[in-house]
Structure 1
């Protein structure tokens, strides 16, 4: 088993594999030997390397956990160096551009199944990894009509084995949904954090903490995600702006009924949300 990019998600996958006895050997592939050494000390991998061929020449499964804008290139390089029977899957937060790019490479297309485990944290790095991070979490698999059925079955079994509940989506349908359920909330959290003057933070409490938590995430990671899904994110932002305008207009008119209606509708919709397990 090879994990490419042993950060929070990659490290948690490694811990899940090891705690469940699912891999004889877990190899981490990265570009920073110090981070790989740390991941090994933390027990997320058995060994680390910066050499691609050393990492994949015996791998049965390769999981790519690199930044979203690098995944397609990484998959193509890994496919060229791996055994023909390998399964390559990923953990990217966007899917359409990744899948489209991979499928233009015939070798990569035959071994790849796009995936997105819906788990994470504002923390980063192998030190934040948890063996139970993926337990009960949804993992979206995004095959196309060109995805080999045997690779899809193996990908479904792999993600299920480490604790995920798998669902299957078209890559573009995945990106449209995640633009609203994940990417938009991250933009909103950042915008909210930017809207509070520093001198008022001493008066901030739970609402500020909960509303801005994900604004503490890695900027480079989220910029890459936003730019990989710009069309759907722009559409989500336009709809969100319309809702903000409804609140603003109701305030300007002093319209108690409209404000109450907006809040009641929001409360009812929020009540239908079944939150994932917290670890």
Structure 2
């Protein structure tokens, strides 16, 4: 199993505060059956800046510690890149870490409270450069919660999505759990990520999520999600399936927990 979204790199953002915690989280990942993880510290979100070279350096040191402690986990440097008007410039300047060696996939975070008006144009520009944006935790974004058609539009435009394992098993409440199920049913979900930050609410639930996915949607869907995680980290083509809009319902204001 591969985790393409986690905050277990020590002391770089709001995730693991120190190496001791990071190693405990790495051990927990191993227990979950995760063999590889893309480290995705926040970048350009208004609070944290994690430059490419710094993340690469810290990842090498973390892997060294993982190996010395006998933990079976391979980690790769990445970023959870916040969407901004400067994103294309940051890519041109070489300060963006992609999810794969071929610069095909970028882990893209939108503000929790909205989908910015320029998002569609930005996704178009990324796609024109051969870059597939992987929209992280769309089920927890208020804009998508209140307008499901936006997510369908972006996936139809070529975006991929990373659903949070914890969302699917109810950690963020029943409304977010239900929306995650609807996203999966409409084939608008591409794969899971843990978005692990700590040992409390933001912890590993990958094993639980895949067990539920297999039970609710079948082995084929679970296999596809695992395949897609591997495809993203390797820079290969993903299998999105046949997408469809989520059935329209009366709009309801989501609150969610973050």
TM-score normalized with structure 1 length:
0.34
User: Which structure features the higher share of helix residues?
Assistant: 1
Structure possessing the higher radius of gyration over alpha carbons? 1
TM-score normalized with structure 2 length:
0.36
